[in-house]
């Protein structure tokens, strides 16, 4: 079973729809028992960093999540804000502490004078490391919608980037932990393929 | 490179897919759910669905569920978004963004609240504009109420208050297929730094090129052209690509 972590603020519905479409059994929950039972964990998310961490704390499941991901090494995928929350801290709406799974900070994109923010739309993803999650995706164009991104301290954790005025991390990976800044659940065939790749890890 | 989006707009009234002309003369053109399925199968970039009745009768969660089940692309929901709870419901059921029009005209503070609560990336300010005595006037209530605001000041205000995108519709061009109002689009894209989705008037392939190159639109929305002609969003993108406009193919 794939657990879609119910943050209360994320777009959990669309991740569930995508997994249903793929015929993958999933459950939207933040119940500790369910987190322990899950084979894969997805942390979706839209919205601000501070609100996101607050929602995670409210769930009372952060410790369980840490145990399942860091100790038991369950495959974990953070999507958009769900990826950002993996950082040590975020700068959106004041400085807020993150989960600290990936060392780094979440900061606003500096796109330069000619590009609009938020970074909204379909953009080219440059795959740096031939990761299992990108397997079989010939044309990696994904849907992004964000102002902030995770700037990782360890650049080897950045497995894909996107050029938007500056190089932003599009996907990260450290052991069993994956994160994507774009929305696979909204990126049509390429996105569905990525989700399929993740759940078959 | 960030792609220029081509976005079909679907309008629902009395649970039927309709197309208006200048925000009136609604014509029933079929089933919205089959239209959603077709556009999803055609791998479109994004979709905007507006439920006209929702402004009177409230949001229909079942309708949003029905749409998101068929839609593996970004989906923006509009019509009847009046409260933070409405936004929460829409997002929870799988919508990615909401467009806000009348509620923002009545209470601009609503944009601030919505944006700080859910992040500005999901808050789209819908601005409907009619030219009155050579001035671009903003209308709310589905084109029925003149707000007294000029488009330039209102566009700046919605950006300032936290909208992440502007969905800009020319009421005068709606359903006419005579081309986008380039002057209007230009005024708005030059006043703000958030993405602007141009809407109203697309009828020919070169209309899209013009509104992007001359108007500065980040995305192009259209309805009639996809319903009444054999032009598909993919045809539009193939055409844009010939003019060196980056699209997702």
- What CATH number should be reported for the domain holding residue B12? 3.20.20.70
The answer to the question of residue B140 being in a domain is yes
Query: CA-CA distance, A19 to A9, in Å (whole number)?
Result: 19
Smallest CA–CA distance from A15 into chain B, residue: B94
Would you call B120 an interface residue with chain A, using a CB distance cutoff of 8 Å?
Answer: yes
Q: Which of A132, A133, A138 is nearest to A182 (CA)?
A: A133
The one-character DSSP state at A134 is: G
Instruction: Locate the chain A residue with the closest alpha carbon to B192.
Output: A116
Residue A11 pLDDT exceeds 80: no
Q: What pLDDT score was predicted for residue A117? A: 86
Q: Does B162 touch chain A (CB under 8 A)?
A: no
Which of the four pLDDT bands, split at 50, 70 and 90, describes residue A9?
Answer: low
User: What residues are paired with B221 via a beta bridge?
Assistant: B7
> Total structural domains in chain A?
1
Closest to B203 in 3D by CA, of B172, B227, B171: B227
Q: Which helix (H) or strand (E) holds B135?
A: strand B135-140
Mean pLDDT of B72-101: 93
Residue B123 lies in a domain: yes
Q: Which of A174, A187, A29 is nearest to A100 (CA)?
A: A174
Instruction: Look up the pTM and report it.
Output: 0.91
Q: Which residues of A touch B117 (CB under 8 A)?
A: 47, 51
- Rounded distance, CA A32 to CA A21, Å? 26
Distance in angstroms (rounded) separating the CA atoms of residues A9 and B85: 11
Instruction: Give the domain range for residue A75.
Output: 2-94+102-199
pLDDT given for residue A141 in this prediction? 96
Report yes or no: B197 and B219 within 8 Å, Cβ to Cβ: yes
| Each residue's pLDDT tens digit, B199-230 | 999 999 999 999 999 999 999 999 999 999 99
Do the interacting molecules here have an ipTM over 0.95?
no
Range of the domain at B159: 5-242
Q: How many domains does chain B have?
A: 1
* Candidates A5, A8, A14, A94, partner chain B, best to mutate (most B CBs within 10 A): A14
Structure-derived torsion over alpha carbons of residues B142, B146, B148, B154, reported in degrees to the nearest 10:
10
Backbone phi, psi, residue B145, to 5°: -120, 125
Find the mean pLDDT for residues A40-45. 93
Res A51 pLDDT > 80: yes
Cβ atoms of B153 and B105 within 8 Å: the answer is: no
Are the beta carbons of A14 and B94 separated by less than 8 Å? Answer: yes
CATH code for position A140? 3.40.50.880
Contact A93 B219 (CB under 8 A): no
Give me the active site residues of B, please.
Answer: 128
Domain contains B71 = yes
**In 10 A of CB B56, how many CB atoms?**
9
Q: Do B120 and A189 touch (CB under 8 A)?
A: no
Local confidence band at A115 (pLDDT 50, 70, 90 cut-offs):
confident
In eight-state DSSP terms, residue A71 is I
Residues in A whose CB is inside 8 Å of some CB of B read 9-14, 16-18, 20-21, 46-48, 51, 81, 93, 115-124, 141, 143, 145-147, 163-164, 183, 185-189, 191-192
DSSP 8-state secondary structure symbol assigned to residue B133: T
Average pLDDT over every residue of B104-133: 94
Alpha helix stretches (DSSP H) within A60-187: 62-66, 81-84
Task: Identify whether B247 is part of a domain.
Answer: no
Q: How many CA atoms lie within 13 A of A111 on its CB side?
A: 19
Report yes or no: B23 and B128 within 8 Å, Cβ to Cβ. Answer: yes
């Amino acid at each position: 079973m794939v657990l879609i972590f119910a943050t209360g603020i994320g777009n959990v519905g669309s991740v569930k729809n995508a997994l249903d479409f793929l015929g993958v059994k999933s459950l939207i929950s933040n119940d500790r028992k369910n987190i322990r039972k899950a084979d894969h964990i997805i942390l979706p998310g839209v919205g601000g960093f501070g609100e996101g961490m607050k929602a995670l704390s409210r769930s009372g499941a952060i410790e369980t999540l840490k145990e399942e991901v860091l100790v038991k090494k369950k495959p974990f995928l953070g999507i958009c804000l769900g990826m950002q929350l993996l950082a040590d801290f975020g700068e959106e709406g004041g400085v807020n502490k993150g989960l600290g799974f990936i060392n780094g900070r979440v900061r606003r994109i500096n796109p330069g004078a000619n590009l609009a923010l938020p970074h909204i739309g379909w953009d080219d993803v440059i795959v740096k490391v031939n990761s299992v999650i990108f397997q079989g995706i010939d044309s990696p164009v994904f849907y992004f919608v964000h102002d902030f991104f995770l700037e990782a301290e360890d650049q080897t954790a950045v497995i894909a980037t996107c050029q938007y005025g500056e190089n932003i991390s599009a996907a990260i990976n450290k052991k069993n932990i994956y994160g994507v800044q774009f929305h696979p659940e909204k990126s049509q065939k390429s996105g569905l393929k990525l989700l399929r790749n993740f759940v078959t890890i | 490179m960030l792609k220029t989006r081509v976005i079909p707009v679907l309008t629902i009234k009395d649970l039927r897919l309709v197309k208006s002309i200048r925000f009136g003369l609604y014509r029933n053109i079929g089933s919205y759910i089959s239209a959603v399925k077709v556009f999803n199968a055609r791998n479109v970039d994004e979709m905007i669905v507006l439920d006209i009745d929702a402004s009177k009768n409230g949001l229909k969660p079942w309708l949003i569920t029905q749409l998101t089940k068929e839609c593996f692309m970004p989906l923006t929901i509009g019509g009847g978004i009046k409260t933070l709870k409405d936004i929460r419901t829409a997002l929870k059921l799988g919508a990615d963004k909401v467009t806000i029009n009348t509620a923002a005209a009545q209470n601009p503070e609503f944009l601030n609240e919505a944006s700080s609560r859910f992040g500005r990336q999901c808050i789209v300010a819908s601005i409907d504009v009619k030219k009155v005595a050579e001035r671009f006037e903003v209308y709310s209530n589905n084109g029925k109420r003149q707000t007294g605001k000029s488009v330039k000041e209102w566009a700046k205000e919605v950006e300032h208050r936290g909208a992440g995108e502007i969905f800009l519709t020319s009421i005068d061009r709606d359903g006419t297929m005579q081309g986008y109002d380039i002057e209007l689009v230009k005024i708005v894209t030059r006043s703000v730094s958030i993405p602007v989705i141009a809407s109203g008037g697309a009828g020919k392939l070169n209309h899209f090129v013009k509104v992007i190159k001359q108007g500065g639109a980040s995305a192009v929305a259209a309805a009639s052209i996809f319903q009444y002609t054999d032009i598909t969003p993919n045809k539009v993108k193939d055409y844009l690509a010939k003019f060196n406009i980056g699209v997702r193919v």
